[in-house]
Amino acid sequence: VVMHPSKVLELQMSKRGFSMEVGQYIFVNCPSISYLEWHPFTLTSAPEEDFFSIHIRAVGDWTENLIRAFEQQHSPVPRIEVDGPFGTVSEDVFQYEVAVLVGAGIGVTPFASILKSIWYKFRHADHNLKTQTIYFYWICRETGAFAWFKDLLASLEHEMEELGKVNFLKYRLFLTGWDTNIAGHAALNFDKATDILTGLKQKTSFGRPMWDNEFSTLVNAHP
């Protein structure tokens, strides 16, 4: 059980008779909260890892009750029932030399699995992997949502530098909900080596992506 900022709970479960592909999802039931409610969550772990995980954000009664139940350290861990995994089209990402991934808010969860898995394949020189460059766009309304996912990006950033593969993953973070204090603070610290909001080397952009410009740049780089 890992508690992340912005009311996000990560559950890691050991694999026993469980196999998965990237981008798949499971249905989760917690009998102590509701016998009949089953909720779908995208798997955020990579198939190469020895556990499977989900990230749950508090957005309603059931998720809030679930997070509260796991936060209570003194009581036993609630029993969880899992059905799945189900459906995916995300595996197709491995069939292309250049992939563009776009996620928004907590909807970024499938990409956690994809990015981890591609990096495992890339690092272990998987001959079936055609991917040479990934462009990853993440659009968020609030700064807190960056917190739990930036650790993954930071570790990828670090590992790619060590292997001399800095251009393998190119990512852009966009913050759509912000006030003048945040923007002013970012402007004052723009010359710092790392971003003040995320601690990553890639600076956070304010507002939404200008997709026409983004796509034109991609087309020019990869005709």
Considering the domain boundaries, does residue 91 fall inside one?
Answer: no
Which pTM value belongs to this model?
0.74
**Same domain, yes or no, for 128 and 191?**
yes
Distances (CA, A) of 156 to 25, 124, 151: 23, 14, 9
pLDDT values of the chain reduced to their tens digit, one per residue, 223 residues: 998 877 889 999 999 989 998 889 999 999 999 999 999 998 989 999 999 999 998 889 999 999 999 988 777 889 999 999 998 767 678 888 999 989 887 677 778 788 888 778 877 877 777 888 889 898 988 766 666 677 777 887 888 888 888 888 888 888 887 667 766 766 676 677 777 667 677 778 888 999 999 999 999 999 8
Q: Is the CB of residue 120 less than 8 Å from the CB of residue 159?
A: no
Paired tokens of 61? 């009664």
48 and 109 fall within a common domain:
no
> Are residues 57 and 136 both part of a single domain?
no
The residue range of the domain holding 45 is 2-86
CATH of the domain at 7: 2.40.30.10
The reply to whether 71 and 126 lie within a common domain is no
How far is it, in rounded angstroms, from Cα 184 to Cα 193?
A: 17
Does residue 93 belong to any structural domain of this protein? Answer: no
Structural tokens at position 186: 């970012």
* Count of domains observed in the chain: 2
Are residues 109 and 76 located together in one domain of the fold?
A: no
Q: Which two tokens stand for residue 96?
A: 């292309």
Measure the CA–CA gap between 128 and 95, rounded to whole angstroms: 8
Instruction: Kindly state whether residues 202 and 133 are assigned to the same domain.
Output: yes
Is 92 part of any domain? no
